[in-house]
Structure 1
Amino acid sequence: MTDTEQQTRVLIVDDEERIRRLLRMYLEKENYIVEDAENGEAALDMAISTDYDLIVLDLMMPGIDGIQVCEEIRKHKATPIIMLTAKGEEINRVQGFEAGTDDYIVKPFSPREVVLRVKALLRRSSSTKFLQTETKTKEIFEFSHLTIDDDAHRVTVQNKLINLTPKEYELLLYLAQAPDKVFAREQLLKDVWNYEFFGDLRTVDTHIKRLREKLSHIEPKAADMIKTVWGVGYKFEDAEQG
């Protein structure tokens, strides 16, 4: 077992012991360190006090639900989050993306599907990429109002670090690597999410909205660099550069 595997920590949050036990069994087979919480209160304490590589979070729980847990975590950390939702909870699913969820899985699910989705998100996450930086060529993209350090997986605006989720970061980097090129929402879903997602184009719009809000909090001009091309999609534009 490698050091990377030893350090990969996953938190499972679900009020059903059967689901926690099942997911723990499958994820531990992948050599992940797995911890679990049975409610939102415990999950928040654990998620904020411990640096997990990924969190599997149930949407519907008594007390503090998954949406609230996700929102609170996002105030402190950009830990990748997969939300578990019941079939037919599309409205809540969209709320989950607005709260900062990176992916979702519908119940009832196959444990093997969860493992595959966890692996896919870990590959794209900031923690995994950071562990690979020793063999990676340093890339820094500097623009008029923001800087993307892909080596450190970091975005700064006016020298202030912007706390982005893995998906928000990848979306910004994808657009910024091809300034002025217009990308359709369908293309962004396919390329940024790395697989055919569930086809809801609002996923892209929600992430763009959150990305703009975070950038605008420091410098509105940074947020304005992400342009909406009506009827098509989005593009990254740095009118002040060059």
Structure 2
Amino acid sequence: MRKILIVDDDDDLRKLYTQTFLDSKYDVDEATSVNNALDLLGKNSYDIIITDILFPGMDGVYIIKKARSQDSLNINTPIIILTNLDYGEKTKQALKEGANECLFKTKHTAKSIFKEVESILKKDS
């Protein structure tokens, strides 16, 4: 069973994404904040991470930096950014720090995000 971390402070979207992956037999961990995500990253290894960029207090780029650090259990884990931002500085920074893909929330359904994850995991295996 594939294990995924979904990080988003929007409860409705996070629950929608989570249910989509649970329905497809994924093991899903959810985080509502950067600190919550960092705690989970320190304890678990994931097949893929999906994260928003904008959070109150600390931005999601820090999640990517932590996942890509040398002592991380998730140094090679694919990371997808989900955002409503245009291709601006935060998005560029996230990709520079090691995110594999940037998807815009307004252009993707939960099902299309699932298909993107499946595609990335196929390439990765």
TM-score, normalised to structure 2's length? 0.90
Q: CA deviation at 1:89?
A: 4.0
Which one-letter code corresponds to 1:113 in the other structure?
A: S
In the alignment, which of 14, 17, 22 is matched to residue 11 of structure 2? 17
Q: In 2, Cα distance between the equivalents of 1:28 and 1:14? A: 16
Unaligned runs of 5+ in 1: 1-5, 130-242
Amino acid at match of 1:50: N
In structure 2, C-alpha distance between the alignment counterparts of 1:40 and 1:17, rounded to whole Å:
14
Provide structure 2 residue ranges, at least 5 long, that are not aligned to the other structure: none
Other-structure match for 1:3: none
Contact 1:10 1:34 in 2 (8 A): yes
Map of 2:119 onto structure 1: 120
2:94 counterpart (77, 92, 96): 96
Code of the aligned partner of 2:117: V
**Aligned residue number for residue 189 of structure 1:** none
**Pairing 1:128-167 to 2, within 5 Å after superposition:** 129=125
Which AA in structure 1 matches 2:121?
L
Q: How many residues align?
A: 120
Contact 1:83 1:105 in 2 (8 A): yes
Counterpart secondary structure, 1:25: helix
Matched ranges for 1:33-72 at <5 A: 33-72=27-66
Counterpart in the other structure of 1:178: none
Larger radius of gyration: 1
Match of 2:105 in 1: 107
Return the letter of the residue paired with 2:93.
Answer: Q
Q: Runs of 4 or more off by more than 6 Å in structure 1?
A: none
| Conserved 8 A contact 1:39-1:63 | no
Matched-pair contact (CA < 8 Å) for 1:12–1:55 = yes
Residues 147-190 of structure 1 show CA distances to partners (whole Å, capped at 9, x for unaligned) of xxxxxxxxxxxxxxxxxxxxxxxxxxxxxxxxxxxxxxxxxxxx
Q: Distance in 2 between matches of 1:118 and 1:10?
A: 10
Over aligned residue pairs, what C-alpha RMSD do you find? 1.2
Query: CA shift at 1:69, angstroms?
Result: 1.2
SS of residue paired to 2:29: strand
> Which AA in structure 1 matches 2:94?
G
**TM-score for both structures, normalised by structure 1:** 0.48
Q: Distance in 2 between matches of 1:57 and 1:16?
A: 11
1:90 Cα deviation from its structure 2 partner: 2.6
Query: Structure 1 vs Structure 2: percent identity of aligned residues?
Result: 28
Cα distance in 2 between the residues matched to 1:100 and 1:57:
13
1:83 aligns with 2:77: no
